[in-house]
Amino acid sequence: MCYHACVKAIRFYTTATGRCPVQEHLDDLPDKTVQKIAWVLRVVRDLDIRQAHG
């Protein structure tokens, strides 16, 4: 059995005018909350392990 790690890039939505509502919201949150959200996003990005076919 062979497994491949698939590292993802997490990109926030950007409007046609260049606004990034997610980043704007994060900017308004307390630092500790942003740190927790960043941790969760890193987990989602880094822990996607898929079984190889074949």
Structure tokens at 54: 């074949």
Q: What is the pTM of this model?
A: 0.66
Q: What is the pLDDT of residue 10?
A: 84
pLDDT at 38 over 60: yes
Check: CB of residue 44 under 8 Å from CB of residue 11: no
d(CA 16, CA 44): 27
pLDDT at 30 over 80: yes
Check: CB of residue 12 under 8 Å from CB of residue 22: yes
Q: What is the pLDDT of residue 45?
A: 82
Q: What is the pLDDT of residue 46?
A: 82
* Helix residue spans in the chain (DSSP H): 21-28, 31-46
